[in-house]
Amino acid sequence: MDTAGLNQDSTFRVGPLVNLTKLLVKLGCESEPLIERAGFRREDFEDTENRIPYVSGSRLLADCVAATDCDHFGLLLGQMAGPSYLGVAGFLASTAATVGQALQALVENLDLHDEGAACSLQIEDEYCQLSFSIHEPGVSAIAQIHDMSVVIMCEIMRAWCGREWNASQVHLLRKEPPDLAPHIRYFRTAVLFDAQYCGIVFPNHNLQLKPPAADEFLHQHLEQEACLLHQMQHQEIMEMLPAVIQRCLLQDQCKARDIADAFGIQERTLHRRLKSAGTSFRHELDSVRESLSIQLLNVSDLPVYDIATSLGYADSSGFIRAFRRWTGSSPASWRRQNQPR
């Protein structure tokens, strides 16, 4: 599906990249030429709240790795970050009553920091898994982003559980690097390369610990702040949603996953935002189908079967039933009564 004009706008907060210049200097590399060549300005990386395009930012990261010849650049950059670098999502998580609630808040609100990726938390009998995945297409330096993200996970857990905390296992999608020492030295545990996912595994009892910054009233305030930020995102999606659904319908690609891809977000994020806006994907799809079917019946002589197919129905019977629900009459009857003569 052609999603030009939508996915290209996916962004992320500068956050951890605020330390990019400092790390480049430490590694003996001039930052200005790299930043300018990538189309950015130095001041773009001076405020963690600045947002930059996901793909362009990843290309800059790839250029930094090449310029410094440092295959663990992302690992080093992640060590310079912590919960606060994730903005509202990080502050909200840090004020939760338990680590388990904190991680759930982080998973649910990471999109406020990063529109091109997502976290998930899976809890089993004895261990739980916190994972990170990128869904933005065309991203460079994926290994570095994964390294940085998993390090930030560990930095967050060490901020909440104590600096001696270690994961039971670290899983990385990347190939095993020639020099394992930087990864082993930082993670202090088993690191599995060429893994099936990117993330950390740790005992469930960690979820009951209390973060040092736990604060019930501040947490409630930050929840309201996160809600307001999500509402702003909802408004943008709700304004664009009818046009996107209509375009996808006409391209015969109109599952919830297709719409989420068009907005550069995960399917579950789309469902969550629509629910917060008091609606659902099925309702919005139904509304667009109703509007489009009336247009087609009104201005064309297309057979009912062709209209049903263009609206994503497998056959005309499903469309006819839906149309009766919308208007109280069949498509053929509505056309006879309403089509201009």
pLDDT in tens, the chain (341 residues): 334 334 445 789 999 999 999 999 999 999 999 999 999 999 999 999 999 999 999 999 999 999 999 999 999 999 999 999 999 999 999 999 999 999 999 999 998 999 888 999 999 999 999 999 998 888 999 999 999 999 999 999 999 999 999 999 999 999 999 999 999 999 999 999 999 999 999 999 999 999 999 999 999 999 999 987 877 666 777 888 888 888 888 777 788 988 887 776 668 778 877 887 789 999 999 999 998 899 889 878 889 999 999 898 988 999 999 999 999 999 999 998 886 66
Confirm whether 224 is domain-assigned: no
158, 189, 217 - which closes a domain = 217
What single DSSP character describes residue 39? T
Say yes or no: 146 and 257 in one domain.
Answer: no
DSSP one-letter code for 169: E
CATH number of the domain within which 258 lies: 1.10.10.60
In the prediction, which pLDDT does 229 show? 83
**Residues 194 and 240 grouped into a single domain:** no
Neighbours of 53 (CB within 10 A): 18
- Judge whether 223 lies within some domain: no
| 175 in the same domain as 312 | no
Specify the DSSP element, H or E, that contains 200: strand 198-203
Task: Say yes or no: 33 and 129 in one domain.
Answer: yes
> Which two three-digit tokens encode residue 152?
């930030």
Domain end among 217, 240, 255: 217
The CATH number for 208's domain is 3.90.1520
pLDDT at 340: 66
**Range(s) of the domain holding residue 170:** 7-217
Give the angle subtended at the CA of 15 by the CAs of 6 and 50, to the nearest 5°: 55
Domains: count for the chain: 2
- Considering the domain boundaries, does residue 112 fall inside one? yes
Element (H, E) at 194: none
Same domain, 175 and 257: no
The helix or strand, by DSSP H or E, that contains position 51, with its residue range, turns out to be: strand 51-53
Residue 226 lies in a domain: no
Residues 193 and 276 in one domain: no
Residue 272 lies in a domain: yes
- 3-state SS of 91-148 is HHHHCCCCHHHHHHHHHHHHHHCECCEEEEEEECCCEEEEEEEECCCCCCCHHHHHHH
Is 176 inside a domain boundary? yes
Q: Is the domain of 23 the same as that of 139?
A: yes
Token code pair at residue 2:
């052609």
Residue 264 pLDDT: 64
Instruction: State whether 205 and 242 are in the same domain.
Output: no
Residue at 2 is within a domain: no
pLDDT for residue 9:
54
d(Cα 70, Cα 61) in Å, to the nearest integer? 11
Name residue 138's amino acid.
G
163 and 307 in a single domain? The answer is no
